[in-house]
Amino acid sequence: MECKNISSKIILLSIIVAVLCIVQPTLGIDIPEKNRSKIKVNKCCSLNEHVGNGKACQLSEETHSFFDMPVYINENLKKSRKPFKELFELAPNRFIMTNFRIGAFRPFLFGYKGYLRVDGTLLVDAPNRHNRWIKIRPANYCVDFFHKTNATELTPDFWVLFPAKTKSETNKLLTIATLISCFFMLLFLIVYFFLPELRDEKGYIQMAYVASQLMAFLLLSMIQISGLSVAECVGLTLGTYFFFLATFCWINVLSFDIWWHFRNLAKNRQSRRRKSFKFTFYCLYALGLPLLMTFALGMLNWYRESMKRYPRIVIPHIPEDGCFLRDSVKMLYLYTPMMIIIIINWTFYMITVFNIWRWKRGTQVFNGVNELSHRTDFRSFIIYIKLSVVMGLNWFLEIISFKYPNNKWYYITDVFNILTGLTIFIIFICKKDVWIKLRKRCNELRTRYKRGGSSNSQVVRLSRQQSADSACEAVNLKP
């Protein structure tokens, strides 16, 4: 009986404790203020000192208090009702640590501003950055008073040990892969220049696309070489950015052109626009849009000091953050437009598939005089789909490597992306009909060369014979 009473009391006590734990927050039960531990905040110098020139601690004539320093709750800069002294406890002499004193700087020097949060972390407002708010742990900053320029009174400020910027390492493997890709793209252009029958309207678009990517990769390989000046870094970055955008705009032109062609076939009508007019329009789009975006990027980077009045606008910060776009800036200014263009391309392709299906329902599918032309158009459509799949997969892997930079597959995906030139060469050049045309063209040039050589030798012999005859006549005419 006693055991039952004891067990029932234990159960009742457990229930009471559980209920108290649940309802304690709602009842407002709190630890007394005097027993609550405060958060420690580092003071740069000792309690009776302030920071002077060269981050040297100097003795203060009077004691200064941080009572009026505002404390904030979150990134919205909502102020806390509790003053500094109720939340924090000063831990002096942080500058005793030499490494910290040398590496710590005032956020003001970078155009930033610090805000102390109630949990002891320091919020640094970095305007015109994609990740605008930088959170600094209490161990990586200190607070103290110092003399502002042309000021008589001491004012409080922060000295922050900012996270070290990760330097982009030059990888020889990626540079070699880039140059290999450039070699195959150059071969592609040579073949298209060598074979006039490939240089139709679509052929010129393909050449423009490959030439843009060739220039982008060449400039990118130059950026990967260290030792560039500021002007060279900015110029190569803007050039690479332009040609990368132009590459995807030309792919967009290819998808639009094939959609337009099959749309006319599905509706059984001919395009009345001249090919020269269409290609001019394509050039205005494929070169004009990247030019405008590159100009806007350059202006944002040039006037970055003036843009601090608009902190929400992201600035590329070239070359402070390194040559070419990096991290979230690359995602915003390069990958996002590319992904939009890829989505538009696949929209065109899906509509084209629908048009082909509707076209096949007609009575003249692959019949009649235009049978060979229609089949050629369909094969071109399949090739362009392959190209878009390759380009889309390439940049999808690039985005994955951006999201997971420390992944072991990072370099494999990068090499796959950079070897796009080899993929383009295989898709467009490594075909039986192209090799037949190349062999035929070489034979024609060889035959023409031989004929030219024989005719030249005949002309030489004839001229020699004529000169000899004239010489003989001159001799006979002499008395």
By the 8 A CB rule, do 65 and 145 touch?
A: no
Could you count the other beta carbons within 10 Å of the beta carbon of residue 143? 22
pLDDT of residue 16: 58
Structure tokens at 6: 């004891």
In angstroms, the CA 44 to CA 57 distance is 8
pLDDT of residue 164: 74
SS3 116: strand
pLDDT of residue 88: 92
Could you please report the per-residue DSSP string of 41-75? EEBSS-TTEEE-GGG-EEE-SS----TT---BSST
pLDDT of residue 477: 41
pLDDT of residue 471: 38
pLDDT of residue 293: 96
Question: In angstroms, what CA-CA distances link 334 with 200, 245, 329, 397?
Answer: 31, 8, 8, 14
Bridge partners (DSSP) of residue 72 are 79, 117
Amino acid found at 157: D
Q: Which of 349, 352, 339, 340 is nearest to 393 (CA)?
A: 339
Strands (E) in 49-160, as ranges, are 49-51, 57-59, 88-91, 113-116, 122-125, 133-136, 141-147, 154-160
Burial of 308 (0-12, 13-18, 19+ CB in 10 A): middle
Which value, to the nearest 10 degrees, does the dihedral of the CA atoms of residues 256, 260, 261, 265 take? 150
pTM of the model: 0.74
Residues of the chain with CATH 1.20.1070.10: 172-438
Handedness of CA 212, 401, 403, 219 (dihedral sign): negative
pLDDT of residue 142: 95
Residue 418's contacts (CB-CB under 8 Å, 6 or more residues apart) are 174, 177, 178, 181, 217
* Architecture of the domain whose range is 172-438: Up-down Bundle (1.20)
By the 8 A CB rule, do 297 and 316 touch?
A: yes
Q: To which residue do tokens 């039960």 refer?
A: 29
Amino acid found at 89: E
Strands (E) in 263-320, as ranges, are none
Residue 346's contacts (CB-CB under 8 Å, 6 or more residues apart) are 388, 392
Q: How far is CA 225 from the centre of its chain?
A: 18
Residues of the chain with CATH 2.170.180: 41-160
Longest dimension (CA), the chain: 166
Structure tokens at 190: 């040579």
Which of 3.30.750, 3.40.1710, 2.170.180, 1.20.120 would CATH assign to domain 41-160?
Answer: 2.170.180
Residues in the chain: 479
* Helix (H) / strand (E) containing 42: strand 39-42
Could you count the other beta carbons within 10 Å of the beta carbon of residue 195? 15
In angstroms, the CA 95 to CA 89 distance is 17
pLDDT of residue 27: 35
Handedness of CA 84, 85, 87, 91 (dihedral sign): positive
Structure tokens at 188: 């592609």
Bridge partners (DSSP) of residue 105 are 160
In angstroms, the CA 145 to CA 106 distance is 12
Residue 54's contacts (CB-CB under 8 Å, 6 or more residues apart) are none
Amino acid found at 2: E
The Cβ-side half-sphere exposure at 235, using a 13 Å CA radius, reads 6
Per-residue pLDDT of the chain (479 residues; tens, 9 = 90+): 455 555 565 555 565 555 445 444 433 333 344 445 789 999 999 988 989 888 889 888 877 788 788 999 887 888 888 888 889 999 999 999 989 999 999 998 888 899 999 999 999 998 888 788 899 999 999 999 987 766 667 889 999 998 876 655 556 777 888 888 899 999 999 999 988 888 888 889 889 999 999 999 999 888 887 678 888 999 999 999 999 999 999 999 988 988 887 777 666 555 556 667 888 999 999 999 999 999 999 999 998 888 888 888 888 888 888 888 887 888 889 988 988 998 898 888 888 887 777 766 664 544 544 555 556 666 666 777 777 776 667 677 777 766 776 666 666 666 676 678 888 888 888 888 888 888 888 888 888 777 765 555 554 454 545 554 543 444 344 44
